[in-house]
Amino acid sequence: DADVTQTPRNRITKTGKRIMLECSQTKGHDRMYWYRQDPGLGLRLIYYSFDVKDINKGEISDGYSVSRQAQAKFSLSLESAIPNQTALYFCATSDQQGDQPQHFGDGTRLSIL
Amino acid sequence: AQTVTQSQPEMSVQEAETVTLSCTYDTSESNYYLFWYKQPPSRQMILVIRQEAYKQQNATENRFSVNFQKAAKSFSLKISDSQLGDTAMYFCAFMKPHNNNDMRFGAGTRLTVKP
């Protein structure tokens, strides 16, 4: 089984819909991240969480929200999806000793029409 | 803010040959980390190599090595004996120590290894 699992793998939806992307991990890591990848821009940080009670905005948090339901679960929501949120979304984890995201999921490709 | 530039959107190399991917960055920090990540068609991001700025010795991981030029703010990745499985997007990234909420990525280089 994958260390970091993202669901769904692909999603197509319409403008204005509420979307939730889910991430679960089996690494036992405290730190979890959500990134967005766009062509020509690399990855950009949306939100991060250093433990269950800690949520922080990243570089591009507008239009997104997150929930850290448990150490192993970190979900990303788009309350009212818009077309420019079409992108590839990654969840990642690291432990307290790690200085960089160590384990990534396979990504969720989200298309908003 | 730190920026990371990868000036080669696409590159190709023949199997078994050597290829070098370029990366430059801009920062006023003296201590930081640099990384190369690989993203194969399966989409998963995989850490290839990591370099601490305070270390003069270039990092090496099997066929992957870096040429870290701190004064020039350059961090290139050399892949020796290229294999078909090396075909992927490669991202260069920068991060300040103990601040892993602020990792900055370059735009990526798409590498194709040809048989």
Answer whether A5's CB lies under 8 Å from A24's CB: yes
Q: What is the pLDDT of residue A42?
A: 87
* Tokens representing residue B35 in the block: 């990384």
Cα angle vertex A53, ends B101, A109, to 5°? Answer: 55
B33–A99 CB contact, under 8 Å? yes
Q: What is the pLDDT of residue A12?
A: 96
Residue with tokens 């990234």: B93
Q: What is the pLDDT of residue B43?
A: 87
B33–A100 CB contact, under 8 Å? yes
Out of B45, B97, B107, closest to residue A90 by CB: B45
Q: Is the pLDDT of residue B77 over 90?
A: yes
Which residue intervals of A19-82 are DSSP H helices?
none
Which residue of B42, B89, B100, B104 is the best one to mutate when testing the A interface, meaning the one whose CB has the most A CBs within 10 A? Answer: B100
CA A91 to chain centre: 4
Beta strand segments in A39-107, E: 42-51, 54-57, 65-70, 73-78, 87-94, 103-104
Task: Give the tens place of pLDDT for each residue, B34-74.
Answer: 999 999 988 889 999 999 999 889 999 999 999 999 999 99
Q: What is the pLDDT of residue B2?
A: 67
Task: Give the tens place of pLDDT for each residue, B80-115.
Answer: 999 999 999 999 999 887 666 678 899 999 999 999
Is A103 buried (19+), middle (13-18) or exposed (0-12) by CB count in 10 A? buried
Q: What is the pLDDT of residue B97?
A: 75
Cα-Cα-Cα-Cα torsion A26, A74, A108, A64, nearest 10 degrees, comes to: -170
A45–B101 CB contact, under 8 Å? yes
Which residue of B52, B103, B104, B110 is the best one to mutate when testing the A interface, meaning the one whose CB has the most A CBs within 10 A? Answer: B103
A-chain residues within 8 Å CB-CB of B52? none
Distance from CA of B18 to the nearest CA of A (A): 24
B50–A100 CB contact, under 8 Å? yes
Per-residue confidence in pLDDT tens, chain A, 113 aa: 569 999 999 999 999 999 999 999 998 998 999 999 998 888 999 999 988 889 999 989 999 999 999 999 999 999 999 999 999 999 999 886 656 777 899 999 999 99
A100–B98 CB contact, under 8 Å? no
CA distance B15 to A36: 32
Q: What is the pLDDT of residue B99?
A: 64
